[in-house]
A and B are shown apart, each in its own frame.
Chain A
Amino acid sequence: MAAMQSEFPHVPTNGRALPAFLIVGWRWISRNPAVAITPVLLPFIFLYFLSLISPPSLLPLEVVGAMLFTMQNIGSWVLGDSAFWRIECSLQDMFVASPLSRIRYLFGIAISNLIAMLPALAILMGLLLWAGAREGTPLTPFAFLVLLACLGVLWVLFSAVGIGISSRIRTQREIWPIGNLTFTILGMLSPLYYPLSALPPLWQDAARFLPTTYAALLIQGALGITPASPAQMVFYAFLLVTCASVGLVIMLRLYRWGEA
């Protein structure tokens, strides 16, 4: 041990991991512009399609849905990055051997992917302000705070889902289909782009098990798109936090770190 210390006398035992991951995220989008454009464009393609087939009054709801869907898709990106770094670059072994904990690693990858999603979220926020004003559901400071809180909860939850699943993936070819399938199905099951009441009864029951449903209902209530009393809003918030906590616990149990 003493010999090792004399050989490596200045090995850092801590560091600014989160800012480093933030730079990784920025470098990723600055070097690959399509990476920044794709998450911006995909919700817009859906919104364009929806604007053709649905009543204009649903636009604010659909924009909120696109924001939640975008935030949920961070999970797919976290899954992709962590699996790629582990399988292709064998980088996770280095992090495991370092003082970085698995939770900080999770937040690091989540932050780096949040950077890539920020342009999409900023544009959708602008669109929500415009559509909300046009349809009589303006974005009040309260609604804005509710929106930010819900996006924050989903960011943490789905990043954990992404890293939890990624730690079980064995080959690179599984990354894209598993990520896409998981997060698209989760996004479609929740009433993100349509009101909950428009879904068939059985589907509504299934959607009530998903935290994204309560995030959508909470924001729709705060914006006045779907009427909700203060008691209902508190209830939705409670269910969102409860579902997200259960999901986090399950995913953190699934998440393999050193033993992989």
Chain B
Amino acid sequence: MATSMLVQGVLLIFVWILAPGLLGVAFVGAIIFSTFTMGQRVLNEAAYIRIDHKANDLYLAGPMSPEAYFLGMSTGILVVYLAPVVALGALAAAVVHFTLAQGLLLIALASVVWVFSASVGYVFSTFFRDNRAIWAYSSLFFNVFGVLPPVFYPFGLFPTPLHPVALLMPPSGAAAIAQMSLGITHLTSGELALAVGGLVVETVFVFLFAIYWARRTVRAD
């Protein structure tokens, strides 16, 4: 559980020491990033169970459906790693002083990001053939898409020409919506529509694809 908070911890320390005024933004970003990196855990776990334990075949040979396997694993990982996120949420509430609506919006955004990243993680896990390669690739993917775009820092600091790209990436799109609700960032109605639309459409698409992929990989085996 402690390792799930490492990157967030490092970035929060950076902000706390070097720019304490941005601590509220960083906390909101840390919550969204935490649910995003649960996809990395799904990836690691699914690949490990399949490659190392060969238990994937055992589960799927049973009465369990492929999508139940994917959803069960994702939910199990959510349960395991939820406690540090709740602790982070409590710290964030102490720093940011959310209203109920803002808090609920943040929970909703983090949940959507979780569905997206768990689906991506499960699909990616099926591509690995070697346990040693998992860490390098998964850490690359989740850190690039979770730290480089404006998740831990204000959306306005991201280069303006790349704003649409950031809004279309689920972690930074969700963070931009959360920052807007807190009054930290201003989004035009077009930008808001892009962020919300991107988040919903991409998540629904990736989730449905993960279910399709789970069924397909069973048939391929």
Contacts and interface: CB of A to CB of B under 8 A. Distances in A.
Interface of A: 32, 34-35, 37-38, 41-42, 45-46, 48-50, 52-54, 58, 80, 84, 88, 172-173, 176-177, 180-181, 184, 188, 193-194, 198-199
Interface in B26-76: 44, 48, 52
A52 B144 contact: no
A35 B144 CA distance: 15
Given A49-B14, A173-B48, A54 B19 contact: yes
A32 B139 CA distance: 14
Contact of A38 (B11, B13, B19, B139): B139
Interface stretch (B98-106, B145-153, B176-184): B145-153
A68 B21 CA distance: 28
A176 B136 CA distance: 11
B18 A50 contact: yes
Contacts of B162: none
Contacts of A173: 48
B6 interface: yes
Given A53-B153, A176-B3, A84 B132 contact: yes
A49 B133 contact: no
B64 to A, nearest CB: 22
Given A38-B136, A88-B131, A180-B3, A53 B22 contact: yes
A49 B136 contact: no
A84 to B, nearest CB: 6
Contact of B153 (A41, A49, A180, A181): A49
Nearest to A116: B136
A41 B140 contact: yes
Contacts of B44: 176
A32 B22 CA distance: 37
B74 to A, nearest CB: 18
B15 interface: yes
Contact of A194 (B17, B133, B136, B143): B17
Contacts of B13: 188
A198 B22 CA distance: 17
The 6 closest A-B CB pairs, nearest first, are A53-B19, A177-B3, A54-B18, A34-B136, A38-B136, A35-B136
A184 B10 contact: yes
B52 A172 contact: yes
Nearest to A36: B136
A199 B9 CA distance: 15
A143 to B, nearest CB: 24
Size band of the interface chain B makes with A? 20 to 34
A174 to B, nearest CB: 11
Given A45-B144, A176-B3, A184-B6, 5 more contacts: A34-B136, A53-B14, A88-B131, A181-B6, A194-B17
Nearest to A191: B17
A35 B17 CA distance: 31
Contacts of B133: 32, 34-35
B125 to A, nearest CB: 15
21 contacts: A34-B136, A35-B133, A45-B143, A45-B148, A49-B153, A52-B153, A52-B157, A53-B18, A54-B19, A80-B135, A84-B132, A172-B131, A173-B48, A176-B3, A176-B44, A180-B3, A180-B6, A181-B3, A181-B6, A188-B9, A194-B18
Contact of A49 (B137, B144, B152): B152
B2, B6, B52: which has the most chain A beta carbons within 10 Å? Answer: B6
Contacts of A193: 14
A50 B14 contact: yes
Nearest to B6: A184
Contacts of A181: 2-3, 6
Nearest to A189: B13
B176 to A, nearest CB: 15
A145 B151 CA distance: 39
B140 A49 contact: no
A80 B133 CA distance: 12
A259 to B, nearest CB: 26
Contacts of A32: 132-133, 136
A109 to B, nearest CB: 14
B53 to A, nearest CB: 10
B168 to A, nearest CB: 20
Given A34-B140, A41-B140, A46-B10, A198 B18 contact: yes
B75 to A, nearest CB: 20
